[in-house]
Amino acid sequence: MDPRTLRSTFGRFATGVTVITCHTPDGAHHGATVTAFTPISLDPPLVQVAMTRTSKAAAYLEGAAFAVNVLAADQSDIAMHFAGRPCSDPLPWREGATAPRLGGTAATLVCRPWRTDDGGDHLLFLGEVVEVITTDRKPLLFHDSAFHHIGNPSSEVVWLGCQDDPSTGWFDATTSFTAIETPAIPRSTHY
């Protein structure tokens, strides 16, 4: 698989933009821009962040609390700062009970460490959400190597979840099915 083609194909999936923040071993604040963030579970409340193995953040996150800062539409400069292009404006750091976070975001999920898994050239950090902060600010989006803003809803229908889930799908957990018996079809021995 050609890595450039694969990366370009991954870029066809529009994502939100997050900055993962944590403390360094000496107590300083550290952040990294990440689009590989995934909500995993409601019970327990878990999220996953994928970090390149060689990144500083991957070394700092092992066994550490962290915050997932979902950037707001006007925070592309902050995304670029934590992606390696420093901005001159002061950063909106906020102290949290378990991990540093950023102000002015669309949302923030503060997590304690849950588990770290092998993800090929990445490490997969699962965090248990211990605090959420939400605002009415629109999120910053990333698609095809560029930042975008959210547009108008394309439908008035609210998606309530996967139809494969027995508690919310087409059939609930109490539904039972009876097999339909079909008559056997005789096999011909003549060709």
- pLDDT per residue rounded down to tens, the chain (191 residues): 777 777 677 656 567 899 999 999 999 999 999 988 989 999 999 999 999 999 988 999 999 999 999 999 999 999 999 998 988 888 999 998 899 999 999 999 999 999 999 888 889 999 999 999 999 999 999 877 777 787 777 766 666 666 666 665 555 666 666 767 766 666 555 54
pTM of this prediction exceeds 0.85 = no
The structural domains of the chain, with segments of one domain joined by +, span 3-149
CATH architecture of 3-149: Roll (2.30)
Q: Which three-class secondary structure string do you get for the chain?
A: CCHHHHHHHHCCCCEECEEEEEECCCCCEEEEEECCEEEEECCCCEEEEEEECCCHHHHHHCCCCEEEEECECCCHHHHHHHCCCCCCCCCCEECCCCCCEECCCCEEEEEEEEEEEEECCEEEEEEEEEEEEECCCCEEEEECCEEEECCCCCCCCCCCCCCCCCCCCCCCCCCCCCCCCCCCCCCCCCC
